[in-house]
Structure 1
Amino acid sequence: MSIKSYIGKRAKPTKGSSENIKVSDYMTTNLITFRPNQSVLEVMNTLIKKRISGGPVVNDKNELVGIISEGDCMKQISNSRYYNQPLQDFKVEQHMATNVDTIDGNMNVFDAADKFLTSKHRRFPIVENGKLVGQISQKDVLKAALQLKGRSW
């Protein structure tokens, strides 16, 4: 039995083509990160103040340990009200997602777009040698597409 690939043969990339555009060319490196021991209330304040929808959670060694999002905070608001507990009592590590999908900074930005479509994620962290080095969002992929203006895809 053999496995067949239905991906057509790709032409060799030409200089300046979309084949050469890597995630690392468009990822954000100046990240707002959170710590596992921060309160959920503090995260909510940061999300609103910085106008972001979530962010990576790192330990003291800048290793990615999770992601916390608006949705995670919304769940905590509901639970806090139900159990009549103040939000500042809840820590990020109790409510962050720990099964985090990452992508390689060398991935083609348009392959990353496909990964966004299939995963329904809003952002992907980029990790090198165990350390968080950046993050790419759907908006970053849109910026790459606008820069190319459709000329090379």
Structure 2
Amino acid sequence: MQVQDIMTKKVLTVRPETTVREVAEILVNHKISGVPVVEDDGRLVGIVSEGDLMSKEILGAVIYYNGLREYKDAFDRMAANTAAALMTKKVVTVKAYDDISDVARIMRDKHIKRVPVLDDEGHLIGIVSRQDIVKMLL
């Protein structure tokens, strides 16, 4: 079975300039754990998850130092007020024709809850979540 057989095609997305508060409201109101960040043309540029939002709050309370690079990243995340500043930029993605068992393995091994599905030009065309895979088992 391929990703296109189970992916959600109508994906909620945000723009890079969406505020952190708006992102949090979208996650809560739609009961989702993450949302892709896309440009005007639909090209994926990142993803914001509940974990990213929690990191912002946790880092606001506890500053740690583990080298200058890590400190800078932590500070930038703390100061984030838009999706672009908070998002994870290195997103694991899949194609519609990928095998679901491969995607499930990636999600398990990398501890990912959702994987954006891109076309060959990098445009978002869907998303696969853990729940989509569980539904397939039914």
Output the TM-score relative to the length of structure 1. 0.74
Query: What is residue 134 of structure 2 aligned with on the other side?
Result: 142
Which residue type is aligned with residue 99 of structure 1? K
Contact 1:58 1:65 in 2 (8 A): yes
User: Which of residues 1, 4, 8 is equivalent to 1:28?
Assistant: 8
1:120 aligns with 2:100: no
Q: Where in structure 1 are there 5+ consecutive unaligned residues? A: 1-20, 147-153
User: Which of residues 25, 41, 46 is equivalent to 1:66?
Assistant: 46
How many residues are paired up?
123
CA drift of 1:117 comes to 1.4
Query: What is residue 67 of structure 2 aligned with on the other side?
Result: none
Distance change >3 Å, CA 78–CA 115, structure 1 → 2: closer
Which has the larger share of helix? Answer: 2
Larger radius of gyration: 1
Instruction: Pick which of 105-114 and 63-72 moved more.
Output: 105-114
Give the Cα–Cα distance (whole angstroms) in 2 for the partners of residues 111 and 130 of structure 1.
20
Which residue type is aligned with residue 126 of structure 2? G
Give the Cα–Cα distance (whole angstroms) in 2 for the partners of residues 90 and 69 of structure 1.
14
CA drift of 1:72 comes to 1.0
Q: Where in structure 2 are there 5+ consecutive unaligned residues? A: 63-77
CA drift of 1:79 comes to 4.7
CA drift of 1:93 comes to 0.6
Give the Cα–Cα distance (whole angstroms) in 1 for the partners of residues 47 and 29 of structure 2.
18
Give the Cα–Cα distance (whole angstroms) in 2 for the partners of residues 139 and 91 of structure 1.
28
Q: Percent identity?
A: 34
Output the TM-score relative to the length of structure 2. 0.81
| Residues 3-22 of structure 1 aligned to structure 2 (within 5 Å) | 21-22=1-2
Query: What is residue 131 of structure 1 aligned with on the other side?
Result: 123
Give the Cα–Cα distance (whole angstroms) in 1 for the partners of residues 100 and 135 of structure 2.
10
1:104 aligns with 2:95: yes
RMSD: 2.1
Give the Cα–Cα distance (whole angstroms) in 1 for the partners of residues 108 and 56 of structure 2.
27
Give the Cα–Cα distance (whole angstroms) in 1 for the partners of residues 103 and 122 of structure 2.
20
Contact 1:110 1:141 in 2 (8 A): no
Query: What is residue 10 of structure 1 aligned with on the other side?
Result: none
Give the Cα–Cα distance (whole angstroms) in 1 for the partners of residues 28 and 19 of structure 2.
15
1:50 aligns with 2:30: yes
CA drift of 1:75 comes to 2.1
